[in-house]
Structure 1
Amino acid sequence: MDPEHIVFIQHMAPLAMFAVAFGVGGWVLTTWLRIKNGYPLDGAWGQAVYPKKDEEMVERLRLLSSENAQLRAELGSVKDRLATVERIVTDASYRLDREIEGLRGPAN
């Protein structure tokens, strides 16, 4: 092989390795972003790769959905109770009663 060809290959090898590393890094970043944001992954020929649904996963999803509904209902009732407490505390007559009790002094 000609020495000029060897020198040329030695100068181009780092550039080729950089291009390959850049391509692999871009693929990894794209796949990570797809997974993070919930987009389907592509297979080798462009077909979408979806997770398999087995009975255990379907049951777990059903249980989580029912637990989510229960927690949302409980949160709604807590919000209602908090609104009632806020209304009582900000009520003028409640404030007046507290001021009168404060003026009476400590109970002996």
Structure 2
Amino acid sequence: MAPTSLLAARPEVGRANDTHSVRIIRRLSSRGLLVGSVDSAPLAALMAATSTTDGEFFGPQWPGSAGGPPGLHRPWKPLRDNADARRMWTVSEELSGVAFP
């Protein structure tokens, strides 16, 4: 698990002693199971950034996208809706204050 853990945002992780479930997650993660590692975390984003095909979506390959090596996914139905995509683009521009071409 990364030295800076997102699990730290959960109340039970901030306790002096980890809970049983947190210990299990840490054990699985240290073996590259369930949630991946610091080294594997950026791979899906790297694949997306270097993909030559527009509209591709990458993420973990294990069932439920719970972990595993990155690979090509079919975007979830809400991500395939053109009206939703236009709305998301507009909201992103408004919130960031940046107009994207």
Q: Give TM class, smaller chain.
A: under 0.3
Greater C-alpha radius of gyration? 1
More strand by share: 2
TM-score using structure 1 length = 0.23
- Structure with greater contact order relative to length (CA < 8 Å, sep ≥ 6): 2
TM-score using structure 2 length = 0.24
